C-alpha cells in the first residue's frame, strides 16, 4: 500500500472550478455553528498578529479579522483567494496570500495561528514539518487553534483525529492545552506555547 500524499494545489483548483463554495462555508448551519464555537474558544479578545492557514473563500477570515490587529490568511487556491479578497475587501488589517504549507511559511511570528479544516490534507511527514514550522513561528504565550472534521474522507491522507492526536504528542512539554472539545463531527483544541524561562 502506497504512503498517503499531501493533496496538491491542482486538486483544490479542480474542486473550486466545479463549485465556488464546495464545502458550503457561506451557507451551512454546521459551518456557522463551528465558526462561532471556534471564535468563542479563542482565549484572548484581541490578537496583535494572527495567521490563518487554509482560509479558503474567507468566511471565517472575515469574522476572525474583528479580533486581530493584523491577520495574514493564506490558501493554495487562487480561485478561493479571489473570493476571499472580495469578501475581505473592506478589511485593511487582512492580508491574503497564496502559500503552500508546510514549505512556504512567512518569516514573521504570530500570537495566534489558526488551522481549521486543513491539517488532514497533509501527509503525516508534511504535517510533522508543519507542526515544527507552526511552533517556530509562534510567539511565547501564543496560541494554536486546531479545528477539524473527524469522520474519515477517502481522498484525505489523514483524519482529523490523527491530526489532533499527533499535535498533542508534539506539544508535550512545549505547550499547554487551553481548550478542548468534540462535537458530533468535529474536534477543537487550543494550545498555548509555554513562556521561555
Q: Give me the pLDDT at residue 1, please.
A: 47
Cell (9 digits) for 6: 499531501
Q: Give me the pLDDT at residue 3, please.
A: 75
Q: Give me the pLDDT at residue 189, please.
A: 98
Residue 87 placed within a domain:
yes
Residues with Cβ < 8 Å from 153, sequence gap 6 or more? 120, 159
| Per-residue pLDDT tens digits for 134-168 | 999 999 999 999 999 999 898 899 999 999 999 99
Cell (9 digits) for 118: 486543513
The answer, as to whether pTM is greater than 0.85, is: yes
Structural domain span for residue 163:
9-193
Cell (9 digits) for 109: 511570528
| Residue 93 confidence class, pLDDT cut points 50, 70, 90 | very high
* CATH code of 26's domain: 3.40.50.150
Task: Give the pLDDT mean for 93-101.
Answer: 96
- The rounded distance, in Å, linking the Cα atoms of 56 and 121 is 13
Q: Give me the pLDDT at residue 185, please.
A: 94
Residue 4 placed within a domain:
no
- The rounded distance, in Å, linking the Cα atoms of 63 and 35 is 8
Residue 86 placed within a domain:
yes
Residue 99 placed within a domain:
yes
Minimum mean pLDDT range among 54-58, 158-162, 193-197: 193-197
Structural domain tally of the chain? 1
Task: Give the pLDDT mean for 52-81.
Answer: 96
Task: Give the pLDDT mean for 32-39.
Answer: 96
What is the 3-class SS of the chain, one letter each residue? CCCCCCCCHHHHHHHHHHCCCCCCCCCCHHHHHHHHHHHHHCCCCCEEEEEEECCCCCHHHHHHHHHEEEEEEEECCHHHHHHHHHHCCCCCCEEEEECCCCCCCCCCCEEEEEEECCHHHCCHHHHHHHHHHHHHCEEEEEEEEEEEECCCCCCCCCCHHHHHHHHHHHHCCCEEEEEEEECCCEEEEEEEECCCC
Residue 2 placed within a domain:
no
Amino acid at each position: 500500500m502506497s504512503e498517503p500524499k499531501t493533496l496538491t494545489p491542482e486538486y483544490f483548483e479542480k474542486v473550486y472550478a466545479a463549485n465556488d463554495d464546495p464545502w458550503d462555508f457561506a451557507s451551512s448551519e454546521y459551518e456557522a455553528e463551528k465558526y462561532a464555537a471556534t471564535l468563542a474558544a479563542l482565549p484572548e479578545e484581541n490578537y496583535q498578529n494572527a495567521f490563518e492557514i487554509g482560509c479558503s473563500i474567507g468566511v471565517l477570515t472575515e469574522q476572525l479579522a474583528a479580533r486581530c490587529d493584523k491577520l495574514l490568511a493564506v490558501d493554495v487556491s487562487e480561485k478561493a483567494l479571489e473570493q476571499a479578497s472580495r469578501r475581505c475587501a473592506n478589511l485593511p488589517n487582512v492580508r491574503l496570500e497564496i502559500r503552500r504549507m508546510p514549505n512556504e511559511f512567512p518569516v514573521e511570528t504570530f500570537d495566534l495561528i489558526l488551522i481549521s479544516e486543513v491539517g488532514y490534507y497533509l501527509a503525516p511527514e508534511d504535517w510533522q514539518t508543519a507542526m515544527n514550522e507552526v511552533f517556530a513561528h509562534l510567539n511565547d504565550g501564543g496560541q494554536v487553534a486546531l479545528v477539524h472534521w473527524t469522520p474519515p474522507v477517502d481522498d484525505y491522507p489523514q483524519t482529523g483525529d490523527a491530526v489532533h492526536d499527533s499535535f498533542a504528542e508534539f506539544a508535550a512539554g512545549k505547550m499547554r492545552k487551553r481548550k478542548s472539545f468534540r462535537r458530533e463531527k468535529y474536534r477543537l483544541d487550543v494550545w498555548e506555547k509555554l513562556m521561555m524561562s
